[in-house]
Amino acid sequence: MTQDDLLYRFRLRTFAVAAELGNVRAACRAMGIHPSTYYRWKRQLERHGPEILRPRERRTPQMANATSPLIEQRVVAFALGHPGFGPARIAAELARPKWGGIRLSVNGVWRVLGRHGLNTRAKRYGLVAGYAAPPEPQRPQPAPERHLDVDHPGQLVQLDCFCIGRLSGTKGTVWQYTAIDVASAYTWATLQVTGVIRQRPGPVPCPPGRRRAGRPRLAAGAGDERQRLGVPLHDLPGHHRHPRRSAYLDFPLVAGHLR
């Protein structure tokens, strides 16, 4: 049901209420209209019938000095072809012979663009970009899943350490050491307590605005043992790096290496 249908039913209901009450002013007061409006509708109803109470469609008035539809189409087409031009530039360009010599004021161009919703540069660029853009943005292909190829258990073991902190009943810092077999996903874990390390004179401070470069540090003596066994050291990516966990070891599981 449209708005016109609701208004038509309201007007018919007004005459029905007036007939039920037998008082025109009381009916108009109940329906919220003026009695003069009721009598105007009544004269139309008696002369033309109930259909005259329906709202009539009114066309847009055509003024004598209105811009012709053909010129409006030329202005809109030129504005979309040159979305960066303003009304003054569009009026000047359309007045040139190569564009047809259309004589139209700057205000007239602005009104034509306003009737079509193109009176600003942002709206013109937005409409042109909307037609030029694809229906959906191109989604990047997902990166291939990383995988370590191993043939048998014990071929590749990953070691990691994590600082748990201080726990009740312990003297020193508690560390968790973990070893994971890549082939079987078998995991070993152990907790170790390190003693209190006395403060030593710190290194030479870095100049302001610079970061100290260097590889992750291992426990005392671990570097010599790693070089003796030929275990490579790998840095974790920057977005996975942690102050206390910044590297892992590819440790081949040989009898006597893990105990």
| Domain of 128, in residue numbers | 69-132
Domain count, the chain: 3
Say if 243 falls within a structural domain: yes
**Predicted local confidence at residue 213, as pLDDT:** 47
**Predicted local confidence at residue 255, as pLDDT:** 36
180 lies in the same domain as 249? yes
255 lies in the same domain as 167? yes
**Predicted local confidence at residue 207, as pLDDT:** 52
181 lies in the same domain as 257? yes
Nearest to 11 by CA among 48, 46, 50, 43: 50
157 lies in the same domain as 189? yes
Are the C-beta atoms of residues 18 and 27 closer than 8 Å to each other?
A: yes
Say if 140 falls within a structural domain: no
Q: Return the residue matching tokens 């009450």.
A: 21
156 lies in the same domain as 127? no
169 lies in the same domain as 234? yes
Q: Return the residue matching tokens 């003024």.
A: 63
**Predicted local confidence at residue 195, as pLDDT:** 72
**Predicted local confidence at residue 56, as pLDDT:** 82
How big is the CA angle at 174 (ends 239 and 232), to the nearest 5 degrees? 50
Give, for all 259 residues of the chain, the pLDDT tens digit. Answer: 788 889 999 999 999 999 999 999 999 999 999 999 999 999 999 999 888 888 887 777 778 888 888 999 999 999 999 999 999 999 999 999 998 899 999 999 999 999 999 999 999 998 888 776 666 777 888 888 888 888 888 888 888 988 888 888 888 888 899 999 988 888 989 988 887 555 555 555 555 554 544 444 444 555 565 566 665 555 444 444 444 444 444 444 433 344 3
79 lies in the same domain as 175? no
From residue 22, how far is each of 18, 31, 234 by CA, in Å? 6, 14, 99
For the stretch 226-234, contacts whose Cβ atoms lie closer than 8 Å and that sit 24 or more positions apart, written own/partner, are: 229/257
170 lies in the same domain as 257? yes
Say if 202 falls within a structural domain: no
Say if 206 falls within a structural domain: no
Say if 211 falls within a structural domain: no
Q: Is the pTM of this model over 0.75?
A: no
**Predicted local confidence at residue 214, as pLDDT:** 47
How big is the CA angle at 45 (ends 41 and 47), to the nearest 5 degrees? 120
Say if 208 falls within a structural domain: no
Burial annotation 109-139 (CB, 10 A radius, 16+ → b, else e): bbbbbeebebbeeebbeebeeeeeeeeeeee
Q: In what order do the strands lie in the sheet with 173-181?
A: 187-194, 173-181, 157-165, 247-251, 233-235
Say if 80 falls within a structural domain: yes
Nearest to 248 by CA among 227, 258, 233, 226: 233
Say if 105 falls within a structural domain: yes
